[in-house]
Chain A
């Protein structure tokens, strides 16, 4: 009985929990509800995964209205993979949120924060699970509006400007997406993704469809912060509260990647169509520029959080680089890195949250000598940093391995060299932090700090453990991603 309604529960649980938090107006109660809702959502994702593995694609008619008239929730390997990442990363973040929010907000505002968090989670899960194009837009707006608020709640004054800029850019992106969807609707008369996928191949070289594709490309690129449309991201991540940064870095851009894959491959007809457009070349160039420009900027940043925000832009470049191949190995690399990067970057921002909690600063000079004062926090950052570099034994190595494999399959050896060089730049900026934290005398600020509370460390270390686990056992990352990549290429839905 419950198993049959899992697709609906995935969205409904956080959606109902959100207003509950708002009504209760009590920080602690709201937190308990948020944790419960998020963990339940994660459990539902796992349940969905096993159902999909068991019986293939699940089609769920919302409210009993049969598709294509009614809204259909359609779960296949690709979106259940992303659902797992989003709800899983959220499930690790939300217990961590308690200490930070308690220290910052009064009880009512804490409740509002959790409300916004749950709404953002609802939106992201909804975007991922729905099989209806307009529904995608609706959920995207829900998650975006909630995340603007979450960013604006940052302690830094600049958080307001950052949220405002994100709002403008996000709205432009959403508008572009809705224009694209509108054009598709005008040409095919349907909003159901499955129907679209059936009808578009016949008319895919008509101008309105191509215009729709252009709008969708730019709109989604904005959401996933593909260079040069990443400009909103560094400030938004840097000045938002740590919980927000961790959550957005782990989930929001990843859902953008999902949308890109869903539209380009499933709706527009698999790998063949993708390769017939100029997209592979565009993505290849933009990805490489993203990797190198953003990594280099990260190298010179003095604000550690901003440094890792730029690092996110570079890592997204790695994911889109994998997509640009449109081969099974390439898409596997993209999906594997989607999962691995979500986990490690969320973990890094959480541990940076621990540092802020004690040190109240993100300047690299203030973090000097903090390795001795906060040994566990810094050890976690070092492990995740190693994963970011791609050291063997961590999940980042698996990502890089698949990416290099994809490049070699295409005979692009120069790209292998570029990937290695990019890893070296990553090593440099991570190394800069390690140098400051371990090899310098403690700064004035760092002298009086102590280790972060366990309530913050334990959730972060869950992600550290996951990073190491996924570096050793790839059944749940590469194993699933490979099957998902195959179905993307054949446009099976």
Chain B
């Protein structure tokens, strides 16, 4: 049996991609995740691949229930992503996509913090090319902000891991907890990647700027890797419940007023992460199963939604709600797939979101977190509102924009069809997903009360949307810039910085002038003595050379003789 990290298969497999052409490249890129999947399927639990470096044992392949379920879904995501992006000509997008997914998968199987850190940074560096590949000034700026924040997260992780290593002498990646300073630093590092409230802006900033295909991959890996890391290191940390509740609730408001539909999806991504973080915070077997299952289902339907919006962007060149409408006439398949994704994210019964989200809600209720349960319920209604209705409604129906784009390319349709099949399949036969969850599952999603309450919720939410639309109270879709908390560092912060730079700058130039004047005088002095005609560098007459000899001789004689008396 082969024991090789599946992440490295993708990373190494990406290297020959630039030299392959046509169908060979297609087959090669599709074969990589398939091969990795087969390999992963055959691996039993345990540590399989260790290397020694820095005097430490680095475990590159720790297989257990938790890492395996994330491994599977990441491989499914990159497989769908490869199909979806087959039409893309830019080689760097393919390569960085494969390396990025490989790094995320590698991080999932990392058994120690050092290799986790290496993969963590690799995901940041490889994924930024998916943003930069848009080749617009906005994408360049957003990509740079994204890179700074992601690498900053890695630096925090490094600092935390060094402190933990120093304290415990071990670099194993097990439960960390927030009792030590190192643990808090690492939580902060994970929190940045998981888009905790106030640490979230990079997500809504960068994802809408990426290429249509790039966003699909971005939405799958970075944040879910952080969810995996949180589940591994901080399961049962009470603070996460509240962080998660805030996360699930606040993006709703931004999502409702946002005009850019991909940014709407970015906010709803943020909100879905909140559910998972709550699950991790609760930390019971049911809750952790729920978080993992929700991550699994979420990656597929979120990718599906981003794919449908990507298809719209690919054909029309825009995803602004104010510019779109009526596309169902010419893009019927995309419309259907989008609605399936929307139904899944809204947790309609028989769709994947239902069977995973209800696990987290049940766990919250079961542990007596009724307030949080209420918040999550509100958030569920909100999700339906902005992702379930708003996305398909404004893109494909609403007022007719007059646009009649062609249906999405075939490869995009295939990818979306596969993702849709998975969404429905998981919703109808949840036992398959439950079988691969980290803990044993004896949870039944389809009970009368579950189904009934969810359907009630959905219908009242739909009613609210309809009433608001009819009465004209619904926020109109305008081209506008909605301020999020990143305004603090993108505007206020910049002004403060500019003020500081100016003050320091004028002080600096004053001191600098002084120093330069002094230095100039010093160098002039040096030049006078050491320059080509200076006293030290001059060609001396032979006589004075001999004089030096005499002086030294006398000096040495005197010194030696003084010494004996």
Q: Which residues of A contact B (CB under 8 A)?
A: 161, 164-165, 168-169, 172-173, 176, 205, 207, 210-211, 213-215, 217-218, 221-222, 228-229, 231-232, 234-235, 276-278, 282, 293, 296-297, 299-303, 310
- A218 in contact with B532 (CB, 8 Å): no
Contacts of B542 in A (CB 8 A): 164-165, 168-169
Tell me whether chain B's interface is mostly helix, strand or loop, or mixed. helix
Q: Which chain B residue lies CB-closest to A301?
A: B532
Q: Given A168-B542, A302-B532, answer yes or no on A214-B537 (Cβ-Cβ < 8 Å).
A: no
Contacts of B539 in A (CB 8 A): 161, 231, 234-235
- B552 in contact with A221 (CB, 8 Å): yes
Residue in A222, A276, A282, A301 whose CB lies within 8 Å of B549: A222
Q: Which chain B residue lies CB-closest to A210?
A: B560
Q: Does B24 contact A (CB under 8 A)?
A: no
- A278 in contact with B530 (CB, 8 Å): no
- B540 in contact with A210 (CB, 8 Å): no
Q: Which residues of B contact A (CB under 8 A)?
A: 526-527, 530-532, 534, 536-537, 539-540, 542, 545-546, 548-549, 552-553, 555-557, 559-561, 563-564
Q: Given A169-B542, A169-B545, A215-B553, answer yes or no on A296-B559 (Cβ-Cβ < 8 Å).
A: no
A211 to B560, CA, bound (A): 8
Contacts of B531 in A (CB 8 A): 300
A282 to B559, CA, bound (A): 10
Tell me whether chain A's interface is mostly helix, strand or loop, or mixed. helix
- B546 in contact with A168 (CB, 8 Å): yes
A296 to B564, CA, bound (A): 38
19 A/B residue pairs, CB under 8 Å, sorted by A: A169-B545, A169-B549, A176-B549, A205-B564, A207-B561, A210-B561, A214-B556, A218-B549, A218-B556, A228-B552, A229-B552, A277-B560, A277-B563, A282-B555, A293-B530, A293-B536, A296-B536, A299-B530, A300-B532
Q: Which chain B residue lies CB-closest to A207?
A: B561
A426 to B555, CA, bound (A): 31
Q: Which chain B residue lies CB-closest to A212?
A: B560
Q: Which chain A residue lies CB-closest to B557?
A: A214
A232 to B540, CA, bound (A): 9
A277 to B559, CA, bound (A): 8
* Nearest 8 A/B pairs, CB to CB: A214-B556, A210-B560, A278-B559, A296-B530, A297-B537, A300-B531, A297-B530, A214-B557
Min CB distance, B463 to chain A, in Å?
72
A78 to B546, CA, bound (A): 31
A293 to B531, CA, bound (A): 11
- A214 in contact with B530 (CB, 8 Å): no
Min CB distance, A424 to chain B, in Å?
14
A236 to B534, CA, bound (A): 18
Min CB distance, A258 to chain B, in Å?
20
A42 to B275, CA, bound (A): 78
12 further A-B pairs in the complex, CB-CB below 8 A; given A277-B563, A278-B560, A293-B536: A168-B542, A169-B542, A210-B557, A210-B563, A210-B564, A214-B560, A228-B548, A229-B552, A282-B556, A297-B530, A300-B527, A310-B537
- A176 in contact with B553 (CB, 8 Å): yes
Most chain A CB within 10 A, of B540, B548, B561, is at: B548
- B546 in contact with A297 (CB, 8 Å): no
Contacts of A229 in B (CB 8 A): 545, 548-549, 552
Contacts of A302 in B (CB 8 A): 532
A172 to B536, CA, bound (A): 22
Q: Which chain A residue lies CB-closest to B551?
A: A228
Contacts of A172 in B (CB 8 A): 546, 549
A168 to B548, CA, bound (A): 13
A173 to B527, CA, bound (A): 31
- B537 in contact with A301 (CB, 8 Å): yes
Contacts of B557 in A (CB 8 A): 210-211, 214
Contacts of A173 in B (CB 8 A): 549
Contacts of A296 in B (CB 8 A): 526, 530, 536
A213 to B561, CA, bound (A): 11
Residue in B534, B556, B563 whose CB lies within 8 Å of A297: B534
A232 to B544, CA, bound (A): 11
A310 to B534, CA, bound (A): 14
A366 to B530, CA, bound (A): 22
A164 to B537, CA, bound (A): 18
Contacts of B548 in A (CB 8 A): 228-229, 231
A302 to B537, CA, bound (A): 12
A282 to B556, CA, bound (A): 9
A235 to B536, CA, bound (A): 13
Min CB distance, A82 to chain B, in Å?
24
Most chain B CB within 10 A, of A210, A218, A234, is at: A218
Residue in B526, B527, B540 whose CB lies within 8 Å of A231: B540
A205 to B561, CA, bound (A): 9
Contacts of B540 in A (CB 8 A): 231
Min CB distance, B519 to chain A, in Å?
13
- A214 in contact with B563 (CB, 8 Å): no
- B549 in contact with A297 (CB, 8 Å): no
A300 to B553, CA, bound (A): 31
Min CB distance, A282 to chain B, in Å?
7
A229 to B555, CA, bound (A): 14
Q: Given A300-B530, A301-B532, A310-B537, answer yes or no on A213-B546 (Cβ-Cβ < 8 Å).
A: no
Min CB distance, B182 to chain A, in Å?
32
A277 to B563, CA, bound (A): 7
Contacts of A277 in B (CB 8 A): 559-560, 563
Min CB distance, A112 to chain B, in Å?
26
A277 to B539, CA, bound (A): 33
Contacts of B546 in A (CB 8 A): 168-169, 172
Q: Which chain B residue lies CB-closest to A215?
A: B553
Residue in B526, B549, B553, B563 whose CB lies within 8 Å of A278: B563
Q: Which chain B residue lies CB-closest to A302?
A: B532
Contacts of B561 in A (CB 8 A): 207, 210
- B560 in contact with A213 (CB, 8 Å): yes
Min CB distance, B356 to chain A, in Å?
54
Contacts of B527 in A (CB 8 A): 300
Q: Which chain A residue lies CB-closest to B555?
A: A282
Q: Which chain B residue lies CB-closest to A303?
A: B532
A278 to B526, CA, bound (A): 30
Min CB distance, A59 to chain B, in Å?
31
- A165 in contact with B559 (CB, 8 Å): no
Min CB distance, B533 to chain A, in Å?
10
A229 to B526, CA, bound (A): 21
Contacts of B545 in A (CB 8 A): 165, 168-169, 229, 231-232
Q: Given A165-B545, A168-B546, answer yes or no on A217-B556 (Cβ-Cβ < 8 Å).
A: yes
A210 to B527, CA, bound (A): 40
Min CB distance, B547 to chain A, in Å?
10
Min CB distance, A452 to chain B, in Å?
27
Q: Given A211-B557, A232-B545, answer yes or no on A300-B537 (Cβ-Cβ < 8 Å).
A: yes
Min CB distance, A425 to chain B, in Å?
11
A222 to B550, CA, bound (A): 12
Min CB distance, A366 to chain B, in Å?
16
Min CB distance, B3 to chain A, in Å?
35
Q: Which chain A residue lies CB-closest to B527?
A: A300
Min CB distance, A163 to chain B, in Å?
12
Contacts of B556 in A (CB 8 A): 213-214, 217-218, 282
Min CB distance, A197 to chain B, in Å?
19
A68 to B548, CA, bound (A): 36
- A297 in contact with B559 (CB, 8 Å): no
Contacts of B560 in A (CB 8 A): 210-211, 213-214, 277-278
A297 to B539, CA, bound (A): 12
Contacts of B537 in A (CB 8 A): 234, 297, 300-301, 310
Q: Which chain A residue lies CB-closest to B552?
A: A218
A310 to B530, CA, bound (A): 11
A296 to B534, CA, bound (A): 11
Most chain B CB within 10 A, of A169, A173, A276, is at: A169
Q: Which chain A residue lies CB-closest to B559?
A: A278
Min CB distance, A484 to chain B, in Å?
26
Contacts of A215 in B (CB 8 A): 553
Contacts of B534 in A (CB 8 A): 297, 300
Most chain B CB within 10 A, of A161, A210, A215, A310, is at: A210
